[in-house]
Homo-oligomer: A and B are copies of this chain.
Amino acid sequence: MLDPLLFGEIDPPQRLLMGPGPVNAHPRVLRAMSADLLGQFDPEMTAYMNQVMALYRPVFGTQNRWTMLIDGTARAGIEAALVSLVLPGETVLVVNFGRFGLLLQEILTRIGARFETVDAPWGEVVPMDAIRTAALRIRPRVIATVHGDTSTTMAQPLDGIGSIAREVGAFVYVDATATLGGMEIAADRWGADVITGGLQKCLGGPSGTAPITISDAAAEHIFTRRHDEKGIRAAGAVDGPAARIASNYFDLAMIMDYWSEKRLNHHTEATTMLYGARECARIALAEGLPARFARHKAAGAAMSAGLRAMGLTLFGEDAHRMTNVTGVYIPAGVDGESVRAMMREAFEIEIGTAFGPLVGKVWRLGAMGYNAMKHKVLLTLAALEATLQAHGHAVPLGEAVPAALAAWDATV
């Protein structure tokens, strides 16, 4: 047994996290999180909550009033969206092109919804006309999709998905965990009703709170399921006509009321995480979203060019590559886990392994948020080159860094 009294102060190694996330947080975010706490209904606290709502609207590309945080990791946001939007027995069309499309299906099964999928092989995306054909056939309540699926490093184009949804009377749900703050999220232009994200990827913060935006139409639908819990229910409160949401914690009707001027006492907001989320968005908006997206694009282009200059083969379609994470085949004869271990132990750099069909075949290299920087991409490539060399893999020496530098400079 470990003796708890022997554990020292927190003192993690200063590691560069160049995998698919989490990545290193921006130091300003961690400093903001060290501010002292406030009572949850203190006027300064509710002012910070309102500021968070305002800060995340541009981040999501929306005017939606209901733009806030779900207290939990990114998948808390996903589950809150689905359990609140979809009633048991209703059908959802899932756009499925990777592990996180499978997660959507898993959550839907657990909440008693039905689903059908429109699929692409891992490494590709689903054509919009295939989504439309499926939607016309299935007439789903919700079309649910991932934006960027880190398991395959592909980003699903979403322009036009809203008009398909309007055509069949569906809502659109988008999981933008891996792209929010790094690639353009355009809730209003896409016509997406609910989008959720996380801090630990392109926003450069820690995992633990999930930004969400909800269209007025989706909010109206969710409020038909309104049921204020016992203990805080106002006298004469009236339930909505539709079935109660099967989760109390993820009840978006109550959570919206908590973030409204009603200040319904649902949970105790995770204040420190809220401070962090606020700072993530302030940093992103101060940089400017177009500049931020360009920086991620340059980082992805540099990483791709450097890997190719090493003679490695990228995974997946070039046309739909996420800018912030790149999949690359592990060369034949190289032990992928041994390379990752040497990267970590000799260089204090983490690169990612893979899931499902790609386990042992692909590494995933991220450059996102605070780590989507030229020097971090170059250092990672230089370390990988040296590590492959040390593993006896013939790699053209001195090619990766200049190729990456050229690609960066050509992109920005």
Contact = CB atoms under 8 A, between A and B. Distances in A.
Interface string A9-49: 11111110101011111000011111111111010110010
B99 A269 contact: no
Nearest to A51: B7
Q: How large is the interface on A (under 10, 10 to 19, 20 to 34, 35 or more residues)?
A: 35 or more
A344 B42 contact: yes
B248 A103 contact: yes
A260 interface: no
A12 B269 CA distance: 15
B2 A105 contact: no
Interface in A178-235: 198, 200, 206-209, 229-232
Interface in A269-303: 269-273, 275-276, 278-279, 281-282, 285-286
Interface in A49-77: 50-51, 54-55, 57-58, 71-76
A267 interface: yes
A355 interface: yes
B35 A10 contact: yes
Contacts of A200: 37, 268
A272 B276 CA distance: 10
A10 B229 contact: no
Given A73-B270, A268-B74, A32 B9 contact: yes
Report whether over half of chain A's contact residues are helix, strand or loop; otherwise say mixed.
Answer: loop
A1 interface: yes
Interface stretch (A106-114, A311-319, A383-391, A400-408): A106-114
A79 B273 contact: no
A13 B103 CA distance: 42
A242 interface: no
A265 interface: yes
A208 B270 contact: yes
A350 interface: yes
- List the number of copies, as a whole number: 2
A244 interface: yes
A4 interface: yes
Contact of A272 (B2, B72, B208): B208
Contacts of A151: 231
A25 B15 contact: no
A4 B285 contact: yes
Given A72-B72, A248-B106, A268 B207 contact: yes
B71 A21 contact: no
A134 interface: no
Contacts of A36: 12, 14-15, 24-25, 30
A248 B110 contact: yes
Nearest to A271: B206
A102 B23 CA distance: 40
B4 A25 contact: no
Q: Which of A23, A103, A106, A271 has the most CB of B within 10 A?
A: A106
A350 B36 CA distance: 14
6 contacts: A7-B278, A19-B39, A25-B272, A39-B350, A72-B267, A106-B230
Given A9-B32, A79-B249, A208-B272, 17 more contacts: A2-B54, A4-B281, A10-B275, A11-B35, A12-B36, A12-B38, A15-B42, A22-B37, A30-B34, A30-B272, A31-B34, A33-B272, A103-B229, A208-B270, A231-B355, A232-B355, A249-B250
